[in-house]
Amino acid sequence: MNAGRTIFAQLMDFVSPYEFRRCVDRYAGHYKVQRFSCWDQFLCLAFAQLTYRESLRDIQACLRVAQPKLYHMGFRGTVARNTLAHANEVRDWRIYADFAQGLIAIARTLYATDAFGVELAQTAYALDATIIDLCLALFPWAAFRKRKGAVKLHTLLDLRSNIPTVLFITTGRVHDVNILDTLVVEAGAFYVLDRGYLDFTRLYRLHQAQGFFVTRAKRNFRFRYLDSRPVDRTTGVYSDQTIRLYGFYSKRGYPERLRRVRFFDREKRKWLVFLTNNFALPPLQIAQLYKCRWQVELFFKWIKQHLRIKAFYGTSENAVKTQIWTAIAVYVLVAIVKKRLHLEASLYTILQILSVSLFEKIPLVEALTLSQGSALEDDLGNQLNLFD
């Protein structure tokens, strides 16, 4: 029964305490810890993400106001700014990284059968990176440019579920294409990449691992034409060609054939040229698959705007990575709740509702399925009419 339980406590019911303890034990997270446990730390950071807290002092003030409710929300230790700051500094960030990966595995299973705009039997991923700017004076370990610091979040997004499956957090100096060296390729899966990953030696390794890639050609791209297939130009596809790379280094990096699809985007009035090693999909599906890459950009927008990683709660590398991985865990947790409760609202709407209702004592599903349309009509009906 959810009667008398806060929405925050009900939300945390979707988290497995056993799996969290396994992550803590794996990295000795409770070594010399007496009162403020790793679970308390996670709850504080999750609360901060859900309610858009901007600082440690902000977190402390909001939770201390609700002191009588904290025990029933799962908190066992005393929430203090210095205690939380120390925990962020010294407790291994990999605890929260592993925990987030466990939630990702659950979410991917729940969303495995969802459609994503392209009729595709195989798994499709979008690989991209985003830069999170930092002050070099406060974050000297995050060197990026001469007078600027940054961390870079490299994300492999499952297009079927919009769930990040692999994440790498590096300094801003690490180029995007280097992540292809550490990526474990899933045979038969599609990897949608932008032009920043156009390195033919690395793409050939992906091809040898039996993965498929779809990317865009650069303007100075040189190739040798071999043959072409008929296309329906009413769909926007103007050519579907088989080519080989031209040039010593390019040809040495990728010695086999490639497929070149030329497409005209009528909405943006723009020509697009795609390269892929898959010769089976229709050319229009190649263009549609690349269009789905925009979902990873929306994910980055979500992370930067709606999860609190722009105002960090600590300046060390461990504190920053702890906060980012907690933000990812919150994002995935909300996605799990949306699926298990069969909610039609978007993730953005769900987070907005949660941000103002965590202390409410009503059933979670009731809070997240309130009719927004009727509420809006009531609000409009109560407005004063200036022209009466």
What sign does the CA torsion over 28, 34, 40, 45 have?
Answer: negative
Has residue 111 been placed in a domain? no
Indicate whether 212 belongs to any domain. Answer: yes
Bridge-based pairing of strands 258-265 and 237-245 is: antiparallel
Spell out the per-residue pLDDT of the chain, length 388, in tens. Answer: 455 788 999 999 999 989 999 999 999 998 888 888 999 999 999 999 888 888 888 888 888 888 888 888 888 878 888 999 999 999 999 999 999 999 999 988 888 777 777 778 788 898 988 888 888 888 888 888 888 888 888 989 888 877 888 888 898 899 999 999 999 999 999 999 988 899 999 999 999 999 999 999 988 888 999 999 999 999 999 999 999 998 888 899 999 999 999 999 888 889 999 999 999 999 999 998 888 887 777 777 766 665 555 568 888 999 999 998 998 899 899 989 999 999 988 877 888 899 888 988 889 998 888 644 444 344 444 444 433 4
In a domain, 26, yes or no: yes
In a domain, 72, yes or no: yes
As to burial, measured by CB atoms within 10 angstroms (0-12 exposed, 13-18 middle, 19+ buried), residue 308 is buried
Residue 384 lies in a domain: no
* Residues 323 and 250 reside in one and the same domain: no
80 in the same domain as 13: yes
For residue 355, which of 108, 4, 48, 25 has the smallest C-alpha distance?
48
**Residue 124: inside a domain, yes or no?**
no
258 assigned to some structural domain: yes
* Residue 61 structural domain: 7-96+314-371
Say yes or no: 20 and 60 in one domain.
yes
**In a shared domain, residues 350 and 261:** no
Q: Is residue 89 part of a domain?
A: yes
Total domains, the chain = 2
Claim to verify: residue 217 and residue 283 sit in the same structural domain: yes
Do 15 and 62 share a structural domain? yes
Q: Beta 190-193 vs 124-134: how paired, if at all?
A: parallel
Among candidates 287, 312, 302, 65, which has minimal Cα distance to 162?
Answer: 302
The answer to pTM > 0.75 is: yes
- Is there a single domain that holds both residue 322 and residue 278? no
